[in-house]
Amino acid sequence: MGAPFASVRAGELKRVLIVHNHYKHRGGEDAVVEDECRLLTDHGIQVTSFEHSNDELDGMNLLRAGFDTVWNARIAREFDEVIGREQPGIVHVHNTFTRISPAIYWIAARRGVPVVQTLHNFRLFCPQSTFLRNGRVCENCIKQFVPVSGIRHGCYHNSKSQTFAVAAMLVAHRAIGTWRHKVTRFIALNEFCRSKFIEGGLPADKIRVKPNFVMPPSLDVSFERRGGLFVGRLSPEKGLDTLAKAVARLGHNPISVIGTGPLEGLVRSTFGESYRGQKSSGEVMEAMAEANYLVIPSIWYENFPRTMVEAFASGLPVIASRLGALAEIVDDGRTGLLFEAGNPDDLSDKISWAERNPDRMRTMGLHARTDYEQKYSPAINYEMLTDIYSEAIRASSRQAS
């Protein structure tokens, strides 16, 4: 059935319902959701959050958890109650995996409320969500209706049974047209990711590009910037093995590392006292204000690392892999440097050049800050986000009529 709040005109949006399923370990996606909620609230829009967490899986029967991944009827009923009570003008979904499930899209459609979905990763086309297998980019499943390759290799959590559950969710909702027909607009974080989503089969006319943003740092930028910085999860896809080999080739270590994860042992042995462990967001921004460059040596398709936006906001240039969206975001020679992904020799050369040319790096940092102000600031992001909301509302109204 339709609802009067679904035909709200552009500029009159008062209520937004944010949907987010938290993973077991907090990541950049959670911070993005929190920032967008605060951004909307600061502009007078009432925000209600509908949240669940994968911590709920602890102790759950695996078969039950698998069925819930495809269609969680209990949470769908809960969502129906919330949407009926709150009567939002927009439902903005960030993540439904695994507890919330795609069932909520059907509830929103029945209620006549347009849905905007931010695509933070490649889960709709890759059970693992990263297009990465055995340390290499893998797109075998992107055009497979049934992701047979992912199941065969047990890509999700190195488990064929768990990968099968993810694949069942993907196949079921492809078959009934959930994403094609029940999502009004998708948000891709950059043009590279948008092209991949189109290649995977999402309707091109429904996908809009809106990057991540961060609040401007309140710290004064140091004029004595020195050394490099890595910030992120210490996991294989982040390219830490490449970074460790590059540092070994240099013969000295100019890089400080912030983060935690499964490769902490490698990082401790390679970077020694330069490994600073896990830090708060405020401490990360302090470290960025003092560094001369940020290193992002990822070997997978990063969608839009939050650390990159934080670096640009801090006037910090980025040395990044020439891979996927990173090569789109970093303007080589202007806002940072690009190197061949997975090539420690090339990365070592770029770090060495940055160390020899601190003034050039500071100039690149000024350009990075300009890009932040023109593309990634809260004000710019709010306009982009509400434009997408308004477009979704208009499209939903036309479809209802």
Query: Looking at residue 221, what is its pLDDT?
Result: 58
Angle, helices 28-42 vs 306-313, to 10°: value is 60
Whether 24 and 44 share a structural domain:
yes
In a domain, 223, yes or no: no
- pTM (2 decimals)? 0.93
Query: Looking at residue 3, what is its pLDDT?
Result: 39
Query: Looking at residue 138, what is its pLDDT?
Result: 96
In a domain, 220, yes or no: no
pLDDT digits (tens, 9 = 90+) for 44-95: 999 999 999 999 999 999 899 999 999 999 999 999 999 999 999 999 999 9
Whether 237 and 154 share a structural domain:
no
Whether 273 and 148 share a structural domain:
no
- Say if residues 309 and 211 touch (Cβ distance below 8 Å): yes
Res 375 pLDDT > 60: yes
Whether 197 and 65 share a structural domain:
yes
In a domain, 319, yes or no: yes
Whether 268 and 127 share a structural domain:
no
pLDDT band with cut points at 50, 70 and 90 for residue 8: very low
CA atoms of 244 and 314, how far apart (whole Å): 25
Whether 173 and 27 share a structural domain:
yes
CA atoms of 255 and 241, how far apart (whole Å): 14
Q: How many domains does the chain have?
A: 2
* Mean pLDDT on 234-247: 96
Whether 241 and 177 share a structural domain:
no
Whether 249 and 312 share a structural domain:
yes
In a domain, 65, yes or no: yes
Whether 266 and 207 share a structural domain:
no
CA atoms of 340 and 359, how far apart (whole Å): 24
Its domain, for residue 362, covers 228-376
Whether 233 and 92 share a structural domain:
no
Whether 361 and 248 share a structural domain:
yes
Whether 232 and 270 share a structural domain:
yes
Residue 268: give its domain's CATH number. Answer: 3.40.50.2000
In a domain, 58, yes or no: yes
pLDDT band with cut points at 50, 70 and 90 for residue 29: very high
In a domain, 318, yes or no: yes
Res 357 pLDDT > 50: yes
In a domain, 218, yes or no: no
